[in-house]
Structure 1
Amino acid sequence: MSNRLKKPASLSLISSLALLAMLVLQACGGSPSTGSTSGGSGPITLTVAYQQFGSPPYQDQIWWTKVKQQVEASNPNIKIKLLPIVADEGAYYTKLDLMMRSNNAPDIVREDSFLVGSDVTAGYLAPLDDYLNSWPEYKEQWFDSMQKITTFNGHNYGIMNGTDVRAVWYNKDIFKKAGLPTEWQPKNWADILTAARTIKAKVPNVIPMNLYSGIPMDEASTMQGFEMLLYGTKHTLYNYDSKKWVVSSKGFQDSLDFVKQVYDQKNLLGPTNDIALSTTAGNTVSQQLLPQGKLAIDIDGSWLPGNWVKGGAAPWDQWQQTMGIAKMPTQFGDDPKYVTLSGGWADSITARSQHKKEAFDVLKVAYSKDMLASYDVAAAQITPRKDIVDVAEYKNVPLSSFFTELVGFTQFRPGFPAYPKLSVEIDRAMQQVMQGQSSTDAMKAYQQAATNIAGADNVETK
């Protein structure tokens, strides 16, 4: 006989019935522990999670509402539950991670492309290779770079809904007041700093330039700020030949020195700390400072006009006449002369989804040519689909040809699990020089932190 105590017959019967009910529920595709639900023989419910932040209109909400209506109208067996996560970028990552590791994970999630590697390593995302291979449109229409950006260890984990590039925006009216050319293309970093100092001297009550920096702006500081500088030097953040992180280099220190000059409190060129060191700095810059003519130069993204068009968060009729745009030069203007970075967002299917096939069918609707074209135009995204480039509505978007040119020499962030943590340490180093620390000391602190994160065998200095 077993040494375990025997249950009373009534409890054994109840347990057996409970187990049978659970098995039946699972066989129908439902599960009490996932975001995918089913009312037994009824339709399944797929949960779609995405970020919602700042001022309306919320383009992801609008897009997914259209998808929901189309899917549910054509397939009564699928219901879509929209789950907006109201949070700034950093908090969104944290909240989404908690959801994906929980027993109630969403089915489809809005995934920042730079986090794909770390989220795959954490076991949050499902590979999409089999689904994508059965959908010819993907291989035929998505740009190669847009397929690579969501690939990790040879497998694809997301579909890009748009990409972006970064450049130097400037206010032509302020430049004219300062005696600077209104058609401006800086040849090196010195040209940018010289223009900012000229504006400071000749145009009072205007912020000469903005460079995102510090921990509160999270990845915007790393990518729009630091990496737009570093990738214009002779050094990089990751050495793909040696497969090691470069944790100390002249280019790294020179980039920190540029930040230090912008935020030198004795000759401040950038925004004051109440603006710069705020999680809402991006909205303040794009929706207030630029439209109100209070900021002269802004190293920022291709998405800014989305704020200024009719229906945007800060409609601005004169933006095309007022704002100029230039390529970001390399440090000394040497080859390749200019630099930009691309990122963007994708939609992924979570590893815990109980209805992956149905979730992918929903993604195919969302990423159809017409549906995605509408989203990319409204959200001021550079489309990842080749056939959308010739859609009239998209083609008529101002600056589309300029941004397309930048895609030709764009670079990407290293898509490895250590990157998100290293990104925070880069922001910390930037904030330290903003607050008066030397670039030497800030880089030493980064080197130590990065070595602890990546491991001593995985780092090098230049």
Structure 2
Amino acid sequence: MNNRMRALALGLIGATSVAIPAFAVDINVTCRCVIGGVNSGTAQWIEESVIPAFEAAHPDVNVVLNQFGGEDAQLTQQLALDFSTGAGPDVSAFDGFLIPSFVEGGLLKSLDEVAGPEVNDWSGWAALSDGSRALMEYQGKFYGIPLGTDVRMIHTRKDILTEAGIDADTWQPTSWEEVLDAARAIKKIKPDSFPIQLNAGVAMGEATTMQGYWLALLGTGEGVTDENGKFIVSSQGILDTLNLYKTIYVDEQLGDQRAQLLADGRNRSFANFRDGVTALLFEGDYFYRSVTPEGSEFAVPNRDEVMGWVKVPAKEPGAGIRGQDFVTISGGTGFVINPATDAPKEAWAFLSFMNEPEMQNAFQAIQPRITARTDIEIPNSPFLTEASQALLPLTTARPNDPNYNAVSSEIQRMTEAVVSGELSPEDAMAQYKAAVIAIVGEDNTVSLL
């Protein structure tokens, strides 16, 4: 019940001299999660662990989870619309990279501005590493609480690699060419397959930028911005990355070109991996823990026997960012409070409650993950333990820049232009350069060619 209705009800009750009942406060929570579907474990955790425990401790609060099954970009668009009009859920899942643009657009306020100074007294802040806190922080203010971080790798179908004559247990490519050679070997024995999935195109949104473009670009020794924070708009690294896309999707048909251009392309890529059409999928650890478990839509039968993972190699040994042989990038999601919520204190109580150790351990029991809290262990998950230990020391983060989201959209357009065959890598980069200059101004860009 919103404040206006509650005040009206109390006024009517007072006028009739009837005893005033206690009104429950309603809290609506939204996440891209559906039990039995996308991020099923998150939905199960909130519905079966967090809400019952919170309501038992707060009998005057009713919590409802809105399970959103669309794409990430669709939820982002809906939240932008809702927050701009004072509508939407009280608490929502949120990708940390969006915070700068939402803040600068007046769509998000810091937690203490919404819920009060008690936010800063929460004991949980001390349990978050500096890197984890930064995921939901901007200009020294907290805008949400992070659930966890992640790493990215190449997920492999060991059964298909073996079929192609590759030792799946020892295979670790050390260059782009070795990845392409494996894909070619698979294509030779399975002509109708699309061995590689390197996300591209507009429809996949940030999954294109993060799981595709960044992973290739870092392998050339470059990032989206330079050491001074200026956006790189023309470089050999960009051309090398776009030519890799061209090789995979246009020249050799090693990837599913059509899936990169369709609205449901990411789901199609998951289905391709599940069905053995794709054997080398560039994705985050999210793919293992949320997409492929038993009972989910894209569950891989006998997952732990047929699935493996390898590090993403640089273009050539030593050619990666900071001179690395292998590269990865990390992001993080959490939950924020709608600045227009009618129940800021209750919303904060719920948000902080779901991030207490008891609730976080309940989540780990359902779906182990790399958590934001340093006092929560990863239980019984060799995959996540090994991946975090191997890849976190190699990781990179996206720039904390309010223009990043708009620039990322141009990256997606650039990759789509190449993958569709519409433009050459050179012409697509020229188009990207013009678009980014229009967004951030020429003084905030740099050309390396």
Shift of 1:118: 0.8
Measure, in 1, the Cα distance between the counterparts of 2:365 and 2:324. 30
5 Å matches for 1:272-311?
Answer: 272-273=257-258, 275-286=259-270, 288-306=271-289, 307-311=291-295
Asked whether 1:396 is paired with 2:380, we answer yes
Aligned to 1:440: 426
Aligned to 2:79: 96
- Which of 196, 203, 220 lines up with 2:190 in the alignment? 203
Shift of 1:379: 4.5
Aligned to 1:136: 123
Aligned to 2:155: 169
Aligned to 1:155: 141
- Cα 1:374–1:248 shift into 2, 3 Å: farther
5 Å matches for 1:122-271?
Answer: 122-128=105-111, 130-139=117-126, 141-182=127-168, 183-241=170-228, 243-264=229-250, 266-271=251-256
- Cα 1:355–1:250 shift into 2, 3 Å: same
Instruction: Using structure 1 for the length normalisation, give the TM-score.
Output: 0.85
- Write out per-residue CA displacement over residues 146-193 of structure 1, whole angstroms, 9 at most, x where no aligned residue: 111211111111111122211012222222222222221111111111
Shift of 1:53: 6.2
The one-letter amino acid paired with 1:263 is Y
Shift of 1:299: 1.1
- Cα 1:199–1:22 shift into 2, 3 Å: closer
Shift of 1:408: 2.1
- Cα 1:131–1:283 shift into 2, 3 Å: farther
- Cα 1:175–1:345 shift into 2, 3 Å: same
Shift of 1:122: 1.8
5 Å matches for 1:12-51?
Answer: 25=7, 42-51=23-32
Asked whether 1:84 is paired with 2:67, we answer yes
For the 8 Å contact 2:36–2:295, the answer to whether it is kept is: no
For the 8 Å contact 1:72–1:79, the answer to whether it is kept is: yes
What secondary structure does 2:252 align onto? coil
Measure, in 1, the Cα distance between the counterparts of 2:297 and 2:366. 12
Shift of 1:362: 0.9
- Write out per-residue CA displacement over residues 103-124 of structure 1, whole angstroms, 9 at most, x where no aligned residue: 3343212111110111111222
Aligned to 1:69: 52
What secondary structure does 2:37 align onto? coil
- Which of 114, 117, 122 lines up with 2:97 in the alignment? 114
Shift of 1:47: 2.2
- Cα 1:194–1:24 shift into 2, 3 Å: closer
- Write out per-residue CA displacement over residues 263-289 of structure 1, whole angstroms, 9 at most, x where no aligned residue: 11x42110141x232233333333x32
What secondary structure does 1:399 align onto? helix
Shift of 1:422: 1.1
- Which of 328, 331, 335 lines up with 1:343 in the alignment? 331
Shift of 1:85: 3.6
The one-letter amino acid paired with 1:64 is I
The one-letter amino acid paired with 2:352 is K
Shift of 1:55: 5.4
Shift of 1:231: 1.6
What secondary structure does 1:234 align onto? coil
Shift of 1:205: 3.0
What secondary structure does 1:161 align onto? strand
Instruction: Using structure 2 for the length normalisation, give the TM-score.
Output: 0.87
- Write out per-residue CA displacement over residues 117-138 of structure 1, whole angstroms, 9 at most, x where no aligned residue: 1111122223135445312222
Aligned to 2:17: none
What secondary structure does 2:279 align onto? strand
Aligned to 2:14: none
Q: Unaligned regions of 5+ residues in structure 1, if any?
A: 1-20, 29-38
5 Å matches for 1:313-352?
Answer: 313-334=297-318, 335-352=323-340
- Write out per-residue CA displacement over residues 10-36 of structure 1, whole angstroms, 9 at most, x where no aligned residue: xxxxxxxxxxx969939x9xxxxxxxx
Aligned to 2:345: 357
Provide the alpha-carbon RMSD of the alignment: 2.5
What secondary structure does 2:148 align onto? coil
Asked whether 1:387 is paired with 2:388, we answer no
For the 8 Å contact 1:131–1:360, the answer to whether it is kept is: no
Larger radius of gyration between Structure 1 and Structure 2: 1
Shift of 1:238: 1.5
